[in-house]
Structure 1
Amino acid sequence: MSVSSPSEPESSPCSVLGPRGADAEPAEEKICAVCGDRATGYHFHVMTCEGCKGFFRRSINKGVQFTCPFSQSCPITKAKRRQCQACRLQKCLDVGMRKDMIMSEEALRRRRALRRQRRLALAAPGPGGLSAEQQELIALLIAAHQQTFDSSFSQFTDYRPAVRLYIPSLQSPPEPGGGTAAWPERLDEDVLPDVFSMLPHFADLSTFMIQQVINFAKEIPAFRSLPIDDQISLLKGATLEICQIQFNTVFNAETNAWECGQHCYTIQDGALAGFQQIYLEPLLKFHISLKKLGLHEAEYVLLQAMLLFSPDHASITQHDSIDQFQEKVALTLKSYIDHQHPMPEGRFLYAKLLLLLTELQTLKVENTRQILHIQDLSSMTPLLSEIIS
């Protein structure tokens, strides 16, 4: 039930990302102090490129004495750095590269062996059936979720009051926390003004939840390391779906209501915001089905990460790295389910989740269609317009 209104703050995924997103794409590119090529970090005490790092290590380890055939003042640039090894080595020393920081071949072999052992240890299943790497991933995602999702909705303070002008074709609404909402027979043209009575409030609720999803994504290092354009593409592709996963955590399957702190919402409220039964009925069914699975917090956050890191979204450039991270999340979710949900509870649980994610994609399409039907795109705020575009 995500909608927006003209009063939403002027913001977009690009502007909301802010300085945290900018960390992944420095404004000034790091330059090699030796040749001016793109640097990859500090090597032997100096910011250099991979080429000059390797050249310096080989030259010192081999103990080769280079001789300049010219005047010992050859220009060292990216294009000319191979023309004079003597001047290149001297430039390395002049900018401060240190011989004493170079490891011997034997020391390098030992370090590589230790790294391999550490990778194997991280990948090995622990007592709970999860590897150390998988446990670290779950801990990271749970921390990101807890830091950014206000489950009590105590921070949801900037909103217009909910106005429930119930139309004659609806039965009396339940009290907050009450029973199942009744369905409208139809939404006739003559009652449309009342139908939209909840729209402003849901606009504010949607803005609040979308901003939380953006903050959740920014807490994940793998997300921050992506180019800004890829970050925006992932958010545009997954934010509405992630909102529903988060919304399910406050869904009460006994009352069929979303209990958001002092606020309580039913499907009937969605109808009063202008949404149609063709969307609301499957939406309620989805939340009932997902809630009945009895997911743990770890499974909720892994689902959110799976949705966020989808390599199939439009305009993605880092397809392989996004695909690899999503695969890591999916395998972690499968391992967690296998070891944390005993039979018969855990039977086919992973498969059921994948089916529900497919249903969620269908709901997202219908949600977007109805949002555009409720409100002309030109009247929406930049944030929602960019999310659903």
Structure 2
Amino acid sequence: MPIIESIDVSAVSVPLDRVTSFSNRSVSTRYYGLVKVRSKEGIEGIGFCYIGSDGGPIFTAAVEHLLGKVLIGKDSYGVEGLWQSMYQEALLQGRQGTVMRAISALDTAIWDMNSKAGGLPLHKYLGAFELESVPAYASGGYYLDGKTPEKLGEEMASYVALGFKAVKMKTGRHSPKEEEARLKAARDAVGPDVELMMDCNNAWQDVTQAMQYIRRFEQYEPYFIEEPFGPDDVDSHAKLARLTHLPIATAEIGYGRWYHKELLDKQAASILQTDAAVCGGITEWKRIAATAASYGVVVCPHWFHDLHAPLVAATPNARYVEFFWDDQVLNFRRLIDRQLSQKDGRVILHQEPGLGFGFDEKAVARYGAWTTVR
């Protein structure tokens, strides 16, 4: 019976090597929240999340002063009860945003610790659908100074050369005509048989604006259009879904099962990109994925492939894990001691107990420091 004895928490900021842009913002540094949950028996589980810009003090305060006290001294196998206790404690402070991300990180660490205690890799501890590997799409296509449509096409083709049968690019930053040129270059480069996704990052304000782009995009048959509007504008997602045959994907910053149920009820997305490091952890992610299955909706979780690969492996209606070939955008990978590999467009699952990796303590020390909660 693993009893939670202590929790370590840290907030780190990891600069990008090069400023990188999306449809409506640029990023120069990534901020991550990290936790380590330790049992009296000495078993340690890790959890983590992205906390945007300067969210570190909120994240650490949530763990130190709000959530940690709920977990210390408790049996870690009581996962559902521990989740409910953390959520209840956070009702007034944040059922969304950084506090929910702190719940997500702690919940992930508990699952990691429990699967280590059980001697099983996480995907088998959860009940595996895939045992050895999961399908992945290569994510990239960001905006960089001097990056022409031709260079974008070369990037997408390089992922196909590595064996990926699906790739993703950014869109929405430029005019409809310019974005069509980028999409055409990507499609020409990868060919007709590769699934090509497009990520808008909340680029558009309304359906009328969105359709100026979508009409140009439809002939190139992208596999999905991701996050066309702000996350709370569910009705616009639903209206756009009715106006185009292209699948709509969203929910990467969706919090909790209730928000996702609204998306499903309104038929606002045919692909959910629910992120376990955002929505409430592995516990809540499993609930959301199971609900999506009953609506016939596919789940393709948002980035953090190190976390999501075992979840996709344990979920029959999860089609892809999003995979970043290098650490230039998802530089969280600089903080861990073991990387996932891929072959022929499939991510090879760790077979060691738990998540199969830990934090690289020397790397973490370069960007932040740990505080212990007992």
Asked whether the two chains share a fold, i.e. TM above 0.5, the reply is no
Larger Rg: 1
Tell me the TM-score normalised to structure 2 length.
0.25
Tell me the TM-score normalised to structure 1 length.
0.24
Higher strand share: 2
